[in-house]
Amino acid sequence: MTPNLPKLSAKFFQETGSNNEPVREWLKTLTRDERRAIGADIQTVQFSWPIGKPLADHIDGDIWEIRTRLGNRIARILFVIEEGAVVLLHGFIKKTQKTPSSELDIAKQRLKRMRGR
């Protein structure tokens, strides 16, 4: 019997010409339990794509978000599906009802750099 494999792999966006992975660095600032909760949600997206609310939602263009509840806080990971992978572009703790345009702009800029535009 073959093991149940994810439909998509997961990759961190990496700054061109460096080893800097902004989402990985952001995750390191969170508690172990918070990282585990976010990791479980990323894994659910990997195994269940396409998936919708409440776990994932389309934001803009090719950008989607993974929505994780962390007690009284809400974490968001902005991502794209690229060549069979969930590419994690940006992570943040959401403080307002609507995703701030500044957070979306970071993900859009990283996507442009990733695609060489």
CATH of the domain at 60: 3.30.2310.20
Rounded CA-CA distance 67/54 in Å is 7
- Which domain, by its residues, includes 107? 9-114
Q: Which helix (H) or strand (E) holds 25?
A: helix 22-28
Count of structural domains within the chain: 1
Supply the pTM of this predicted model. 0.92
pLDDT digits over 93-114, tens only? 998 888 899 999 999 999 999 9
Rounded CA-CA distance 117/39 in Å is 29
- Contacts of residue 11, defined as CB under 8 A and 6 or more positions apart, other chains included, come to 85, 86, 87, 88
Q: For 34-39, what is the mean pLDDT?
A: 97
Residue 1 forms part of a structural domain: no
Q: Catalogue the long-range contacts made by 92-95 (C-beta closer than 8 Å, 24 or more residues apart).
A: 92/26
Residue 91 forms part of a structural domain: yes
Residue 4 forms part of a structural domain: no
Rounded CA-CA distance 46/34 in Å is 19
pLDDT recorded at residue 96: 84
Residue 108 forms part of a structural domain: yes
pLDDT digits over 58-90, tens only? 999 999 999 999 999 999 999 999 999 999 999
pLDDT digits over 38-60, tens only? 999 999 999 999 999 999 999 99
pLDDT recorded at residue 3: 66
pLDDT recorded at residue 23: 97
Query: Which residues, listed in sequence order, are joined to residue 64 by a DSSP beta bridge?
Result: 58, 79
